[in-house]
A and B are shown apart, each in its own frame.
Chain A
Amino acid sequence: DQQVKQNSPSLSVQEGRISILNCDYTNSMFDYFLWYKKYPAEGPTFLISISSIKDKNEDGRFTVFLNKSAKHLSLHIVPSQPGDSAVYFCAAGGGAQKLVFGQGTRLTINP
């Protein structure tokens, strides 16, 4: 049973536009959420996080939104740049001291 799901395996966005990546979770015990970015042949690198006491966290071009009632979070990137092309993983944690990852969404930014 996969507790964190990213239902879009890929997303293509034009440079300069907004990219929106989505993530759903099922476990209401999760209280901390993170987004990671992964380039080919590299490990995931941390991008931004949010705790369950907030519904929004912003860091430059990146904003994460959390909707606890819907058990949904999203990552907004604006404006999108070619260097943002990567695979994005959402992850959730809480209680069990381990992070549960989604399967990733491949974002492609087109010039």
Chain B
Amino acid sequence: DTAVSQTPKYLVTQMGNDKSIKCEQNLGHDTMYWYKQDSKKFLKIMFSYNNKELIINETVPNRFSPKSPDKAHLNLHINSLELGDSAVYFCASSQGLGEWGPLHFGNGTRLTVT
């Protein structure tokens, strides 16, 4: 069974469209994250949620809106997509806040905006 699964794996869309990426974890973790891997390959945190509560919101355009319906799910909705949004987006989960147990990552969603 996949521990952290995200869909879709690939997403190709045009500028101006709205799209969503879904993430689910079956590890029973309390905290979930969205990371973005940009063209320079850095993995940068975008958001983290703990038990459905937003904890970290990095400097991300408000076109990006995370939604956590329950602690096992964290979805990412992106409005008015721009060329610069093209990247690989990783969902991750961990046991709790401030506990440096490892993050468990999904396999990523490669978003291409044309």
- A: residues with CB less than 8 A from B are 2, 32, 34, 36, 41-46, 49, 51, 87, 89, 91, 93, 96-104
Contacts and interface: CB of A to CB of B under 8 A. Distances in A.
B48 interface: yes
B98 A97 contact: yes
19 contacts: A36-B102, A41-B108, A43-B108, A44-B90, A46-B104, A49-B100, A51-B100, A91-B43, A93-B100, A96-B56, A97-B48, A97-B97, A98-B45, A99-B45, A99-B103, A101-B35, A101-B42, A101-B44, A104-B41
B66 interface: no
Given A43-B92, A97-B55, A2 B42 contact: yes
B100 A44 contact: no
A15 B55 CA distance: 44
Contacts of A104: 41
A103 B41 contact: yes
Interface residues of B, number: 24
A102 B42 contact: yes
B27 to A, nearest CB: 13
A97 B48 CA distance: 10
A41 B92 CA distance: 15
Contact of B56 (A34, A36, A42, A97): A97
A39 B40 CA distance: 17
Contact of A43 (B4, B55, B56, B100): B4
Contacts of B100: 32, 34, 49, 51, 93
Interface in B33-60: 35, 40-45, 48, 55-56
A44 B105 contact: yes
A61 B22 CA distance: 36
B107 A49 contact: no
Nearest to A34: B102
B42 A103 contact: yes
A36 B42 CA distance: 13
B88 to A, nearest CB: 9
